[in-house]
Amino acid sequence: MQMNITFRQFGASDSLKEYAREKVDRVNRLLDRAGEAHVVLSLERHLHHADITIHSGSWVLRGREKSEDMYASIDLAMDKIERQLRRYKDKLKSHHGREKVHHRQDLMNQLSRVRHAVFEMPEELEAAPEAPAAQAAPAPEPAKPAESSPRVLRTTPLTVKVLKVEDAVMQMNLMNNDFYVFQDAETHAMCVVYRRKDGAYGLIEPHAPDEAPAAAGR
């Protein structure tokens, strides 16, 4: 397995590199197709963050954890990956068995990109107290450019796969995420599957404004 290790906010360590490599190599025996792994180790506010991503065929496995010790963070992140991998081991094998040699090229042809934006409401939009009615209005200040929309703090490109709903749920769990954006293989609509607080799953799917949503049957 090809593996890239990146250190952020602190110096590279050969012992950490070797430790991370040994941990990631352990999952090789559970994977039919192990492509590459990306490990990002960073120090933020005195906490050690480990972000580990493993590509297996067209599937992505991811574990992210933080603690006061980098070795412990690596262990916790890999524990997340291994739990999901063991859960979906049989399904991953069956999917890999159906893949063709040209699968990667077909997948690239189907991919589209969306952008997930994080917004912050500008302070200038906060409501100001009104002047008393009897008080004369103060002289107007020089005009400033009006901010009529929120500021975009960060834009994240997302690769959108064409999947069935059940496969989108599996991919979300393999990445240890709470939601996942995908294109429904049956309806061809852009959808979002998400994890509910009660442990069940929800599905957000679009419909035309003049159409009533279909009854929840999936």
What is this structure's pTM? 0.66
Residue 48's region, left for phi above 0, alpha for psi from -120 to 50, else beta, is beta
Q: Does residue 113 share a domain with residue 79?
A: no
Q: Does residue 109 share a domain with residue 20?
A: no
Q: Is residue 144 part of a domain?
A: no
Q: Is residue 134 part of a domain?
A: no
Which structure tokens are listed for 94? Answer: 């069956």
CATH code (residue 184): 3.30.505.50
Q: Does residue 165 share a domain with residue 94?
A: no
Q: From residue 122, how far is each of 56, 95, 111, 128, 156 by CA, in Å?
A: 42, 47, 34, 13, 21
Q: Does residue 13 share a domain with residue 111?
A: no
d(CA 15, CA 71): 10
**Can you list the alpha helix ranges (DSSP code H) found in the chain?**
14-25, 70-87, 89-98, 103-110, 165-174
Q: Does residue 60 share a domain with residue 29?
A: yes
Provide the domain limits for residue 59.
2-98
Give the confidence band of 199 by pLDDT, cuts at 50, 70, 90.
Answer: confident
pLDDT in tens, 127-168: 444 444 444 455 566 555 555 677 887 777 778 899 999 999
* Nearby residues of 71 by Cβ (< 8 Å), 6 or more positions away: 16, 19
pLDDT in tens, 46-102: 999 999 999 988 889 999 999 999 999 999 999 999 999 888 887 877 665 554 433
Q: Does residue 155 share a domain with residue 86?
A: no
Q: Does residue 14 share a domain with residue 69?
A: yes
Residue 61 DSSP SS3: strand
Total domains, the chain: 2
Q: Is residue 137 part of a domain?
A: no
Q: Does residue 214 share a domain with residue 107?
A: yes
- 8 A C-beta contact, residue 192 and residue 201: no
Q: Does residue 114 share a domain with residue 31?
A: no
Q: Is residue 197 part of a domain?
A: yes
Q: Is residue 174 part of a domain?
A: yes
d(CA 47, CA 9): 11
Q: Is residue 10 part of a domain?
A: yes
